[in-house]
Structure 1
């Protein structure tokens, strides 16, 4: 059996880190097994779904390296959803109900007062044609509920499945209300279109957050009622912030768009989103192919996946520190900072975000204002450094001989030597090894820096 998975966001906002976790777990599973990954845009919420958000979802996934094998929109499949609903109606499995929200709330409270489960009493199912006509004459429009199956003789019916993450699961359908599938305005809630589309698209595995566990029993019953094969289900733990706050589309700084604009690497995002809350150490992984080999459903914990957004900073830096020149070259060129492998290898260990490379480009190219150095002993070090500057060509051994000569003349060594040299040459108190920067700069720029105080 060929694996087919789907990621099914609603285009009512931008994707956040928690959505990325679900998308990546599906995508990596599909790629590891040679299967297919479908992006299904659940855009049946007409009021909140927008084309801009739909485009944003595709852009966010592409930035992570996720290229769907197929993109479908639920709004293009309304005829199939209606046909499925009509089939259920004709078989008596979808029945009209006329209660208002207030009436349903009163019913719920009455059942609780009688120590009964607060589930729908199937009053709509028991209506005859005359009663339905009378309610319609009052101007009431029905919403439509799916008749959950019972066991033989009306006994309780349980649904079981072997969850890919959580193991064996059981749901007693008698403890649930018959779910509403169609609203009064004839629009569909999530459940029916989702199941119909999964059947039509041949989805074999539904991998999603654990907040959907309670829906699964109803959905399995609906798969069976529609005559479709029941997919395997897996419910992964949810990403939550260190303080216990849940992720949402309103967590703007942790939207993929926000993280991208803040300069984070896509593989830093992917590494955190996939590995946190698993048996694997959370560390930077260089590619989705490698990440696919690192994660499997049996490694995912059932406990919430807590993380601190600041963890991304360390992952991002570690990715850059190990990034080879070949992987960085095009991006360096886009910043007018492709000064060759020696430059990249000199500065990458000092980057927290890739864009910071432009600062070191300016240092190496001489675009640096003079640094004010007032202390007499430091000025003496720089004067000697300028006078003792060796002729080119330079390599990484040049710096050692040069600084030894400065020490011999001034007596300065250690911090007293390297501090003023670094500030004059780079304008900073810390940074790449000066021995690696020196050959990149040339004698004219170096002399100007050492004279600028």
Structure 2
């Protein structure tokens, strides 16, 4: 069976780092196995699902480079779920229940108060036709539960190893609400069967759901897929993600922080694995390195500061052709590889290019504290053309003429030429500034 995986977000909100980690692992697994990646929008929650969220999910995945091979919407497949419901009813695996939410809550509280697991008592199975008619005459509308068989459910999880549940320890799940809406437990299985999903990769909070759904796969005569349940992200201290961190959306990382998609990918692909977290500039590199067996059982820690540091390393490894169009779109017309090579070691985010573009191409206010020294240095400026050897030759001549060396030689020149006490290596920046600007700045003029 060929490998096929799915990422199935609900368009009830924007993607955050926890969602993206699952999407990325699914994508990398598919690519590493020569399989395909399905994007399925689980949009049957009509009250909360919106077109804007759906569009946002697709935009965020594309920004990260996680293109999908196939696409589906659950709202387009309601007829398929209705057929599955009829099949389960015919097999005697769905039964009508009439308890209200309040009655079910009291039952759960009673069981928990006695130290028992909150498993549904199957009281609805003891109703006869007369009981059901009476309840419906009272205006009660049934919800429908799946009748679990009291049998063992086992699978070898690709992350957690051997898993074992018994049907008697699980509560019959509600598959159809009072309003007739099919719930995730059923619709997801129907989709996975009919769309040929070979592996379900999701968070470990779905492990118990899997035990239930395996019985559904069998009841619907579908091929049970392989499973991988990933530990959930925590914050940098090891605590569960707070609402603040858990809601860090991809749009926030992209639009507000200006981070690179490959920084996000590089971090999330390696979090919680045996691999070191290193900057990668392509998804192909991450896919070539991906192995499900590298994912550890411990909860990975998401640290925004680590992401920021990694973003800088990604930029430092990025070739000019990969950013040329983006730089031109940002207004840096005429940008070339020489400029990029000069400034990229000093970038934290791509927007930092603006500072060094300003220094190299636009008028700045120089900082000249020793006019006599600056004038002596200006007098020794060589004729153009300049290249990366010019800085060394010029400062050597200034050192000989003035006797200065080290910081007392280099810092005044940097302040005059750039107006800053830090920045790219001046052997690379000086040719971009050019002789006319350099001479004017050494004279203390805005240039």
TM-score range, shorter chain: over 0.9
1:381/1:406 contact within 8 Å kept: no
Cα 1:191/1:161, change in 2 over 3 Å:
same
* CA drift at 1:254: 2.1
Taking the aligned partners of 1:432 and 1:253, their CA distance within structure 2 comes to 36
User: Does residue 158 in structure 1 map to residue 136 in structure 2?
Assistant: no
Q: CA separation of 1:383/1:120 partners in 2, compared to 1, >3 Å: closer, same or farther?
A: same
1:273 aligns with 2:251: no
The alignment yields a C-alpha RMSD, in angstroms, of 1.6
> Are residues 117 and 245 of structure 1, via their aligned partners in 2, closer, same or farther at CA, if it must alter by over 3 Å?
closer
User: Which residue matches 2:37?
Assistant: 37
> Match for residue 385 of structure 1?
377
Q: Deviations over 1:346-398 (max 9, x none)?
A: 11100001111121111111x2332343x4xx222211122221111112111
Secondary structure of 1:286's match? coil
Equivalent in 412, 415, 429 of residue 420 of structure 1 = 412
Deviation of 1:413 after TM superposition, in Å, equals: 1.8
Q: Which moved more, 1:62-71 or 1:245-254?
A: 245-254
Structure 2 residue 128 is matched with structure 1 residue 128: yes
Give 1:396's aligned residue. 388
Report what 1:168 is aligned to. 162
Choose which of 298, 319, 325 in structure 1 pairs with 2:320.
325
1:289-331: CA deviations, max 9, x gaps?
Answer: 1101212111001010012110011111111111122222222
* 2:142 paired with 1:142: yes
What do residues 23-42 of structure 1 show as CA deviations (whole Å, max 9, x unaligned)? 11111111111111100000
Report the counterpart of residue 99 of structure 1 in structure 2.
99
Deviations 1:56-110 (A, max 9, x none): 1101110111111111100111111111112212222111111112211222333
How big is the shift at 1:410?
Answer: 2.5
1:257 positional shift: 0.6
Residue 47 of structure 1 pairs with residue 47 of structure 2? yes
Contact kept in structure 1, 2:371 and 2:443, CA below 8 Å: no
Please state how far the C-alpha of 1:228 moved relative to its aligned partner.
Answer: 0.7
What aligned pairs does 1:192-231 form with structure 2 within 5 A after superposition? 192-231=186-225
Classify 1:313/1:277 alpha carbon distance in 2 versus 1 (closer, same or farther; 3 Å). Answer: same
User: CA deviation digits over 1:384-420, x for unaligned, max 9?
Assistant: 1222211111121111221122223322221112111
Against the structure 1 CA distance between its residues 23 and 265, is the aligned structure 2 distance closer, same or farther, given a 3 Å change threshold? Answer: same
The alignment partner of 1:149 has SS state of coil
Q: How many residue pairs end up in the alignment?
A: 443
Match of 1:407 among 399, 411, 425: 399
Distance (whole Å) between structure 2 residues aligned to residue 33 and residue 115 of structure 1: 46
How many angstroms apart in 1 are the aligned matches of 2:45 and 2:180? 12
Cα distance in 2 between the residues matched to 1:110 and 1:350: 63
**Could you tell me the TM-score, scaled by structure 1's length?**
0.94
Deviation at 1:192, TM superposition (A): 0.6
Structure 1 runs not aligned, ≥5 long: 151-156
Counterparts of 1:362 and 1:117 in 2: how far apart (Å)? 66
Matched, 1:182 2:206: no
Distance 1:330 1:17, change over 3 A: same
C-alpha change, 1:207 and 1:332, in structure 2 (3 Å) is same
Given candidates 310, 334, 337, the residue that maps to 1:341 is: 337
Deviation at 1:142, TM superposition (A): 0.7
Contact 1:16 1:247 survives alignment (8 Å): no
* d(CA) in 1 for partners of 2:284, 2:250: 20
Q: Is the 8 A contact 2:324 2:335 kept in 1?
A: no
Which residue number in structure 2 is paired with residue 310 of structure 1?
A: 305
Inter-CA distance 382–252: structure 2 relative to 1 (3 Å threshold):
farther
Deviations, residues 239-289 of structure 1 (Å, cap 9, x unaligned): 221134544886476211100111111111001111011000011112111
Give me the whole-angstrom Cα distance separating, in 2, the residues matched to 1:110 and 1:323.
Answer: 61
Do 1:16 and 1:248's aligned partners in 2 also have CA atoms closer than 8 Å?
no
Greater shift in the superposed pair: 405-414 or 290-299? 405-414
Aligned with residue 353 of structure 1, among 349, 352, 357: 349
- Distance in structure 1 (CA, Å) of the matches to 2:113 and 2:20: 43
- Tell whether the 8 Å contact from 1:18 to 1:247 is kept in structure 2 after alignment: no
TM-score for both structures, normalised by structure 2: 0.95
CA distance, structure 2, for counterparts of residue 235 and residue 252 of structure 1: 19
Superposition deviation, residue 20 in structure 1: 1.0
Tell me how far apart the structure 1 counterparts of residues 438 and 367 of structure 2 sit (CA, whole Å).
16
